[in-house]
Amino acid sequence: MSAIQILFWFLSGLALVSAIMVLISKNPVHSVLWLVMVFFAISGHYILMNAQFLAIVNLIVYAGAIMVLFLFVIMLMNLDKTSDPQKNWWMKLAGVISGGCLLMEMATLVRQAAEMKEKTVMMKEGSIGLIGNLGKLLFSDYVVPFEISSVLFLSAMVGAVVIGKKN
């Protein structure tokens, strides 16, 4: 096993364990910290796939900005006490069954797919994730969605002001 493969398996395991810990931690603050761990592991994967820009953006935006926001909300709302309302037992069962069905279906389908056989992931290949190429693509082929997405951000900003400002 080469160093890259070892890294890949280590990061995958880390991501999976952290993701499970996000779900089963009783304390919401711990959950958020585990989520940060997941983002770090995924950023590691991006670097393995030669997508440095994506890795850095993922760290800055998700692990940085969004997670800090999560922590603020949790602390402001004082959710760190374990006070989960008791759900109906039947509701839980129904949720587990329907979610489990979807998971099983997707897992079987993806396992059977021809592309997935005997392959893990392409590593250290391709240069599409490099910032220069990404920038060129964004300003040539994908310039229309790039510009139109500004309307999306503008409306989100207007909305934040409308909701946040005092009447």
Check: CB of residue 44 under 8 Å from CB of residue 11.
yes
Q: Within 113-140, where are the H helices?
A: 131-139
What is the distance between the alpha carbons of residues 162 and 159, in angstroms, rounded to a whole number? 5
Give yes or no for residue 110 binding another protein (CB under 8 A).
yes
Q: Give me the least distance between CB of 57 and another protein, in Å please.
A: 17
The interface region with another protein, picked from 8-16, 78-86, 107-115, 128-136 by CB under 8 A, is 107-115
Rounded CA separation 15/40 (Å)? 8
Question: Is residue 3 involved in binding another protein (CB under 8 A)?
Answer: no
Instruction: Tell me: does residue 69 bind another protein (CB under 8 A).
Output: no
Among 10, 72, 139, 142, which residue sits at the site for another protein (rule: CB under 8 A)? 142
DSSP sequence for 54-71: HHHHIIIIIIIIIHHHHH
Min separation Cβ 164 and another protein, Å: 10
Choose among 12, 29, 32: nearest CA to 120. Answer: 12
Assess contact for 56 and 107: CB atoms under 8 A. Answer: no
* Total chain residues near another protein (CB under 8 A): 27
If the CB atoms of residues 16 and 107 are measured against another protein, the closer one turns out to be 107
The contact mask relative to another protein for 111-130 (x = CB under 8 A, - = no) is -xxxx---------------
Element holding 15 (H helix, E strand): helix 3-24
CA-CA distance, 87 to 24, in Å (whole number)? Answer: 16
Under rule CB under 8 A, residue 133 binds another protein:
no
The nearest distance, CB 167 to another protein, in angstroms, is 6
Q: Is 88 in the site for another protein (CB under 8 A)?
A: no
Instruction: Report the interface residues with another protein, using CB under 8 A.
Output: 106, 109-110, 112-115, 140-145, 148-149, 151-152, 154-156, 158-159, 161-163, 165, 167
